[in-house]
Amino acid sequence: MASGLRQDTGIKPVAFVDDDPSYWGNSINGLRVYPPHDIPRLLDSGLGITDVLLAMPSASRFRQRQILAHLSKLSIHVRILPGLAHLANGIVKIEDIREVEIDDILGRESVRADEELLHQNIMDKVVLVSGAGGSIGSELCRQILAQKPKILVLFELNEYALYAIERELSQLTPSLQIIPILGSVLDRGKLTRVFDQFGVQTVYHAAAYKHVPMIEMNPASGVLNNVFGTLNAVDAAYESKVETFVLVSTDKAVRPTNVMGCSKRIAELVLQAKGLQAQELDMCSTKLTMVRFGNVLGSSGSVVPVFREQIKRGGPITVTHPEIIRYFMTIPEAAQLVIQAGSMGEGGDVMVLDMGEPVKIVDLAKRMIHLSGFSHKDDGNPDGDIEIHFTGLRPGEKLYEELLIGGNILHTSHPRIMRAAENALPWGELSPLLLELEVAIESENGDLIMMLLKKIVPEFNHRIDSEDILKD
């Protein structure tokens, strides 16, 4: 490794650190090996150390997190070296050395996937993903490919996003039939035609408007897409006798404080009501399941790329509130769990993903500052490099998110998937309210939209007004 670094990376290795005591004090390739507790002393030793390179590809995720947590207190630039396969031939390219990603800091040990659950609704089936070009939708597509569907239909409104994901997937699996469909979930007729034409058997409905402040400023568009787009997709699924329909939902649907979260809760209510109606009419041809989870790392709008850009510019980092916390999960883990949870649903189920431990956003910001080689500038350290500014909660933003409305939670055979027993409205009660909501949307009557949202979702506690939105 040292030889490879010396060749053409422009990096000069000066010391090894290893947690195996049998190496301590020895020299390898002219470099002395030190114990981990000597790192602070090494940084102050006059060797001019600017970077720590982490080369522990076989270490567990937990152990890597421990080391990064320790290094994050030292304000030293930490980067990660490639796996041992790259290093074995003594060649290290500078482009192989990467920055610490948020998954390295927050990621948890993965749970072995249940292959039967992954295969169940995908293998040799015609699968459609709505919102196929989005953060979750595109990852669902990648994971679906691995389960060998018969045909994968990509349904997406954004032309470039559809082009990008279709191109990527076609290169990954040239032999698989991938059908890109440019369309909106608001076009019920097109959904039905697509489902019928290709004989769609499984639908993952990930199409949604999800940016909280944007939907606060455009409530009619947000509710129309998230609620009535879902209703259209469910009705089309029943009409075309789709076998399985999985709604990708969010923790913001629980006791919502913003229009986006409320619209997603109503989308859940649509599935629950339609499922109950189908049972009553004994027409259970389509199994409906919704999967609710929190923030995913690296999705559009995620704090991580924003923080990284702010650090690159020398700060300040902007955090909305010193006490704000969030649950995080990697996009691949979320997508894999969505597929498994969709297979576990029995009809009208709200499946909830275990999001792990919550993270204080300000602590995340501090770690990113330190691991980038800078110090946090505050009252206790006025000579630091980068400040954190608190900007106030954004319209509709909560200090913390929840995954359950009530306390009724049922564990399943999967350690990270739970079933929530939650109240539902019968279709006979929900349907007239949706008709009123549709009329209010057509006239863009914001006050009436808000009144009806609160009527449909009584726990909706809207905490902002239009002046707050305009100030944001």
List the CATH number of the domain containing 433.
Answer: 3.40.50.720
226 in a structural domain: yes
In this prediction, residues 148-171 reach a mean pLDDT of 97
Range scoring the smallest mean pLDDT among 81-90, 109-118, 126-135, 396-405: 81-90
- Domain of 91 in residue numbering reads as 2-100
Number of C-beta neighbours around residue 404 at 10 A:
17
Report for 112-116, 190-194, 283-287, 461-465: range of highest mean pLDDT:
190-194
Range scoring the smallest mean pLDDT among 36-40, 64-68, 140-144, 269-273: 64-68
Which of 100, 134, 154 marks a domain boundary? 100
Alpha-carbon dihedral 116, 339, 341, 205, rounded to 10 degrees = -150
**Whether residues 201 and 263 fall in one domain:** yes
More confident call, 317 vs 419: 317
pLDDT, position 84: 55
Q: Which residues contact 452 (CB under 8 A, 6 or more apart)?
A: 433, 436, 437, 440
374 in a structural domain: no
**Whether residues 277 and 332 fall in one domain:** yes
> ∠333-336-341 over CA atoms, to 5°?
115
- Residue in 238, 227, 233, 212 with CA at minimum distance from that of residue 267: 227
**Whether residues 39 and 183 fall in one domain:** no
Asked if pLDDT for residue 128 goes beyond 90, the answer is: yes
435 in a structural domain: yes
H/E element holding 19?
Answer: none
* Whether the Cβ atoms of residue 90 and residue 29 lie closer than 8 Å to each other: no
Integer Cα distance of 219 and 225 in angstroms: 10
* Whether the Cβ atoms of residue 327 and residue 359 lie closer than 8 Å to each other: yes
When pLDDT is cut at 50, 70 and 90, the band that residue 373 belongs to is: confident
The two structure tokens encoding residue 444: 């863009």
**Whether residues 70 and 19 fall in one domain:** yes
Asked if pLDDT for residue 277 goes beyond 60, the answer is: yes
373 in a structural domain: no
**Whether residues 201 and 248 fall in one domain:** yes
State residue 248 phi and psi, 5-degree precision. -85, 110
Asked if pLDDT for residue 166 goes beyond 90, the answer is: yes
Q: What 3-state DSSP class applies to 352?
A: strand
Integer Cα distance of 245 and 232 in angstroms: 12
Averaged confidence pLDDT in the chain: 86
pLDDT, position 467: 37
**Is 312 designated active site?**
no
**Whether residues 89 and 147 fall in one domain:** no
Catalytic entry in 125, 210, 252, 398: 252
Asked if pLDDT for residue 304 goes beyond 80, the answer is: no
pLDDT, position 446: 93
Q: What is the pTM of this model?
A: 0.79
Asked if pLDDT for residue 210 goes beyond 60, the answer is: yes
The two structure tokens encoding residue 41: 């002393």
When pLDDT is cut at 50, 70 and 90, the band that residue 251 belongs to is: confident
pLDDT, position 107: 60
**Whether residues 87 and 144 fall in one domain:** no
Integer Cα distance of 372 and 307 in angstroms: 11
379 in a structural domain: no
The two structure tokens encoding residue 378: 């505050």
44 in a structural domain: yes
- Domain count of the fold of the chain: 2
**Whether residues 78 and 210 fall in one domain:** no
Which of 44, 76, 100 marks a domain boundary? 100
Q: Is the dihedral of CA 418, 250, 329, 96 positive or negative?
A: positive
